[in-house]
Amino acid sequence: MRALALAALLLALLPSAALAAAPRTTLPDVEDELMCIQCGTALNISQAPSADQERQLIREGIAKGLTKDQIKARMVGEYGQNVLATPPKRGFDLAAWIVPGLLALLALAAIALTARRWRRVGDLRDGEAGPDALDADDASRLDRDMAGYDL
Amino acid sequence: MRWVVIAVAALLVGLLAYGVASQGSDTTIESALSQGKRVPAPDSPLPRLGAAGKGTVDDYRGRVVLVNFWASWCPPCTQELPLLQRTQRMMAAKGATVLGINTRDASEKALAFVHRFGLTYPSLRDGSGDFAERWGLTGYPESFLLDKQGRVAAAIHGPLDQRWIDEHVKPLVDRGA
Interface membership of A78 toward B (CB under 8 Å) = yes
Which residues in chain A are contacts of B12 at CB distance < 8 A? 103
Confidence (pTM): 0.70
Contact state of A37 with B5 under an 8 Å Cβ cutoff: no
- More confident of the two residues B140 and A15: B140
Q: What is the dihedral of CA B83, B85, B91, B96, to 10 degrees?
A: 120
Q: CA-CA distance, A110 to A118, in Å (whole number)?
A: 12
DSSP assignment of B115-171 equals: HHTT--S-EEEETTSHHHHHTT--SSSEEEEE-TTSEEEEEEES---HHHIIIIIHH
For chain B, positions 118-137, list CB contacts with chain A under 8 A.
127-130
Quote the percentage of chain A above a pLDDT of 70: 77
The closest CB to that of A50, out of B1, B73, B107, belongs to B73
**SS3 label, residue B27:** coil
pLDDT band at A11 (very low <50, low <70, confident <90, very high): low
Which residues in chain A are contacts of B104 at CB distance < 8 A? 37-38, 50, 79
Interface membership of B72 toward A (CB under 8 Å) = yes
Tens digits of per-residue pLDDT, B64-75?
999 999 999 999
With a cut of 90, say whether residue A44 has pLDDT above it: yes
Interface membership of B105 toward A (CB under 8 Å) = yes
* Nearest CA distance, B107 vs chain A (angstrom): 7
Question: Amino acid letter at B161?
Answer: D
Q: Closest residue of B to A110, CA-based?
A: B1
CA angle, B29 then B35 then B40, to 5°: 35
Contact state of B128 with A103 under an 8 Å Cβ cutoff: no
Which residues in chain A are contacts of B5 at CB distance < 8 A? 110
Mean pLDDT of B123-130: 96
Tens digits of per-residue pLDDT, A57-96?
999 999 999 999 999 999 999 999 989 998 767 677 777 7
Tens digits of per-residue pLDDT, B84-120?
999 999 999 999 999 999 999 999 999 999 999 999 9
Interface membership of B15 toward A (CB under 8 Å) = yes
